[in-house]
Amino acid sequence: MPNAMDAHAEAVNEKVVYQNPLLFLKVWELQGAERVRRATDAWNWHYHKEVEFLAIIEGGLEVQTMTSLTTLGPGDVMVIGSSRPHRTWGANGESVRYIVFQVDLARHFDQSILPYLHHFSELTGPLDELNYIFEASADARNEAHALIADIYEETYRARVGYEIAVSASIKRLLLLMLRGDERGILRGTEEAGIARMRPVLDYVDSRLGERIAVDDVRQLLGMSYHHFIKTFKRTMGIPFVDYVNYNRIKKAERLLLTTDLSIMEVSFEVGIWNMAQFYKLFKRHNQHSPKEFRQRMRN
């Protein structure tokens, strides 16, 4: 039996095969006895670029992400953000029946709703943070559950015009989260500004293990130092340095979860060569040290 370290080291980046390539989604129903959680379980964590929704029909399901362990029951709904490692098992080993809905949300923003694309971009935070909406409001939970069930039914019955019905339900789901977000997690930014910042975002994403200087990225946009600093914060909602550090720590979480690299090696892999600084930044985003994070997730 592989140990827990093996289980994390073999995390799978799943390629989702769309049932309809024009709808960019996969939806199906799972039914039966889910595996029981054990300390030495070796099943893989997995993640994919598609956002995932879970809608429980019968029984109980436990869902573990990098930041939470959640028990879901009949009627419950959960959203898991893009590229967020997660795994599931039956609550108390009981039989469970639920719908899994994976979708590339960005593909469903046509010209009529394109101004809202940046609300769901996950550039500075995962959509997981929106689960409070379903936990706090029975109405929101029931509506989301019904929409996911409708997407499943329409996809499998495939009656004429089902693509329109599915697309409409996805937009209703987006609207439900947008209007239900009383905490302002889906804070808006200027879409044109984000498009202009794209070269900078791509630059940061590809060089997290290296030194990233403001002087280097501002030149990509032909801006002065101070103009870039102000424009980035106004567009993205956070300072440039905080954005870089956030993404460094998110990558560090992934490495701690899925590899056996030492904490020092992880720090170096994400471009932080001062260990005191790495610990400080990690605790700022997690309220745990890197060691505590790894132990908590693996136990």
pLDDT in tens, 142-194: 999 999 999 999 999 999 999 999 999 999 999 999 999 999 888 755 556 77
Question: Using CA atoms, how far apart are residues 9 and 7, in angstroms rounded to an integer?
Answer: 6
Over residues 234-243, the pLDDT tens digits come to 887 789 999 8
Domain 4-180: give its CATH architecture: Sandwich (2.60)
Domain residue extents for the chain? 4-180, 191-298
What would the two tokens of residue 111 be? 């010209």
Which of 1.10.1740.10, 1.10.10.60, 3.20.20.70, 1.10.287.130 would CATH assign to domain 191-298? Answer: 1.10.10.60
Crossing angle of the two packed helices 225-236 and 191-206, in degrees rounded to 10: 110
CA distances from 130 to 34, 49, 140, 141, 168 (A): 26, 18, 11, 12, 21
| Residue 8 pLDDT greater than 60, yes or no | no
Q: What's this model's pTM, rounded to 2 decimal places?
A: 0.73
| Residue 97 pLDDT greater than 60, yes or no | yes
